[in-house]
Chains A and B, each alone.
Chain A
Amino acid sequence: MTLDWGALALTAQLAALTTVVLLALATPIAWWLARSNRPLAGWVEAVVALPLVLPPTVIGFYLLVALAPESSLGAWWYSTTGESLLFSFEGLVLASLIYSLPFAVQPLQTAFAGISDNLLEAGSSLGASFPDRFLHIALPLSRRGYVTAAVLTFAHTVGEFGIVLMIGGNIPGETRVASIALYESVEILDYSSAHEMSLVLLGFSFLVLLLVYVSNRAWAPKSEGRL
């Protein structure tokens, strides 16, 4: 056997889609967490961080229950699309959104917390409404946070295994992602394919982290942060 390009392509597709959707979802959550003093924020923070500590199989198990055609979500999905959420690409996207949530929220939260209220007030007095202040002051000042969030979310989604195993199975072109393909190669004692896939994932992961750390250093001029 040779390298499973289909599995790699599916993985990239899943990770890219998850990253785009999650950055959009994580932005308001991270903004609220960074700016709110309410006790509720601590609760939300704990919930967001759960996937960091829970065994993926726990998330996988609950998703298995929640996405099953007997559940309300699963039933609604089945009645609208005629397909099951379990063992589908859509189901994997949903699972990845939950699984990778803290990897998107936390860097953004840190970035947003570093933006001084003073600058937003200055923007406000110059006539900038909230969306205007967000787009033209907060967003450019948080670009490092966005790069970190995007890279970590993408990479973490690529590394997803336990959840996929539980709710995705191993359907080529649908749910057979790189980590599953690797697992299968090992199971059938096809070590050369396993080596190739492992090397690809190792190289990818290292490149990604290199990109994050090098760019963080390069983008850390005095112009950011306090003035």
Chain B
Amino acid sequence: MVSLTASVNLARDDFQLAVDQTVSLDGTLGILGPSGAGKTTLLRLLAGLDRPDDGRITIGTTVWFDGEQGFHCPPYQRGIGHVFQDARLFPHLSVAGNLKFAAKRGRGRKPLDLDIPDMLKLSPLMHRMPHTLSGGERQRVALGRALLNAPNLLLLDEPFSAIDGDQRAALLPLLREVTMAAGLPTIIVSHNLSELSYLSEKLWVMRLGKVVAQGPVAEVMNRLDLQEVSTPAEAGSVLEATVANHDSDYLLTRLTCAGETLTVAGFVASPGAAVRVRVYARDVALALAKPVGSSIRNALPAEVKTMVCLPDTPYVDVLVGVGNAELRSRVTRASADDLGLEAGKSVYALLKAVSVETT
């Protein structure tokens, strides 16, 4: 497990970045924030493409930047795989040429124990020139190029922003699979909560050049006080679960999650496997009694912990405790008043089996 310390200051004409964080990079760190929050700037400082005014950047025992000593390790000596939002493939080289460029310069570092071209389905593209590729193909090549460089750290800067919906939906699980299989410390920057809740283990939230929240993704996403995780339509919760069994007649999977049983649609994984459950707050309803005569498969006994009104909307976000976990539920203010919701109240959290996503 590698520890990253980023203690950096940077002042631009109309922008100030001040970050002081240490994080252990097991799995993927997501950095969330609106455009202009300084996410890309921070990533460029980590990559060495820009230089902080002062501070210190270390990864493991390696120092990348030390303002006091005036030391700045140039990007080409950092061993970072950087995937930019605009792919940046070399236009004079074919796909194979781009990959070879990276592999050649990654010699000396331990290559990843993966068949990267195979995983990313690059073989049919090898002889193509970059300008003939689609946006999704370009990003696949860019990711493959970064990984073949055998980096110590993978940086992804809005890797899906230039890709349309269908290709994005295909690339997202592929990226998750590759980063998990590579076991590579990864940092991904995005303004899209849904992408980050899918891909990251940890989350930083950036606002106006500062990290305003950080922690495990499940914890940060349940912060009702944090606008960045509360205002998006994709606001919700991430829960850890294990597969209990399958119902092959009805094509359902039962998960054990927070001490309760959760039924989800479809075949998820083999019994015993650990999976991650994503539930959008808008898909979680609350009831005072277990419903009868309802299509809802999951009615989990829960207790209201905190509630926050979303300003200028009809909604209230309610954080309920389910077993040892917490779940964000979004209901109308009218419903909250009718049910008399308040902290400590016992309720049932209702989840349709089809609205639970597993990864």
Which residue of chain B is the closest to A225 with respect to CB atoms? B91
CB distance from B17 to the nearest CB of A (A): 19
Q: Which of B77, B84, B88, B131 sits near A223, CB closer than 8 Å?
A: B131
Contact at A124–B76, with CB atoms within 8 Å?
A: yes
Q: Which residues of A contact B80 (CB under 8 A)?
A: 125
Interface string of A72-96 (1 = CB under 8 A from B): 0000000000000000000000000
Contact at B92–A223, with CB atoms within 8 Å?
A: yes
Q: Which of A123, A223, A225 sits near B129, CB closer than 8 Å?
A: A223
Contact at A118–B86, with CB atoms within 8 Å?
A: yes
CB distance from A72 to the nearest CB of B (A): 41
Known contacts: A118-B86, A223-B130, A227-B87. The answer to whether A125 contacts B75 by CB under 8 A is yes
- Which of B79, B81, B89, B90 has the most chain A CB within a 10 Å cutoff? B90
Contact at A127–B79, with CB atoms within 8 Å?
A: yes
Q: Count of chain A residues with Cβ under 8 Å from any Cβ of B?
A: 22
Contact at A125–B76, with CB atoms within 8 Å?
A: yes
Q: Which residues of A contact B49 (CB under 8 A)?
A: 121, 124-125
Contact at A222–B82, with CB atoms within 8 Å?
A: no
- Which of A118, A126, A127, A140 has the most chain B CB within a 10 Å cutoff? A126
Number of A-B contacts defined by CB within 8 Å: 76
Q: Does B269 sit within 8 A of A, measured CB to CB?
A: no
In B98-141, which residues have CB < 8 Å from any A CB? 101-102, 105-106, 129-131
Known contacts: A136-B101, A227-B131. The answer to whether A124 contacts B75 by CB under 8 A is yes
Q: How far is the CA of A132 from the CA of B77 in the complex (A)?
A: 13
Q: How far is the CA of A121 from the CA of B85 in the complex (A)?
A: 13
Q: Which of A118, A140, A222 sits near B84, CB closer than 8 Å?
A: A118
In B51-97, which residues have CB < 8 Å from any A CB? 74-82, 84, 86-92
Q: Which residues of A contact B78 (CB under 8 A)?
A: 125
Q: How far is the CA of A227 from the CA of B92 in the complex (A)?
A: 10
Q: Does B298 sit within 8 A of A, measured CB to CB?
A: no
Which residue of chain B is the closest to A129 with respect to CB atoms? B76
Contact at A223–B105, with CB atoms within 8 Å?
A: no
Q: Which residues of A contact B81 (CB under 8 A)?
A: 125
Q: Does A128 sit within 8 A of B, measured CB to CB?
A: yes
Question: Which residues of A are interface residues toward B (Cβ below 8 A)?
Answer: 118-119, 121-129, 132, 136-137, 140-141, 221-225, 227
Lowest 8 A-B CB distances belong to which pairs?
Answer: A127-B105, A125-B82, A122-B88, A124-B75, A140-B92, A222-B131, A223-B91, A124-B76
Question: Which residues of B are interface residues toward A (Cβ below 8 A)?
Answer: 47-49, 74-82, 84, 86-92, 101-102, 105-106, 129-131, 145-146, 149
A-B contact pairs, 17 of them (CB 8 A): A118-B88, A119-B90, A121-B49, A121-B88, A122-B90, A123-B101, A126-B106, A126-B149, A128-B105, A129-B76, A140-B92, A141-B91, A141-B92, A222-B131, A227-B86, A227-B88, A227-B131
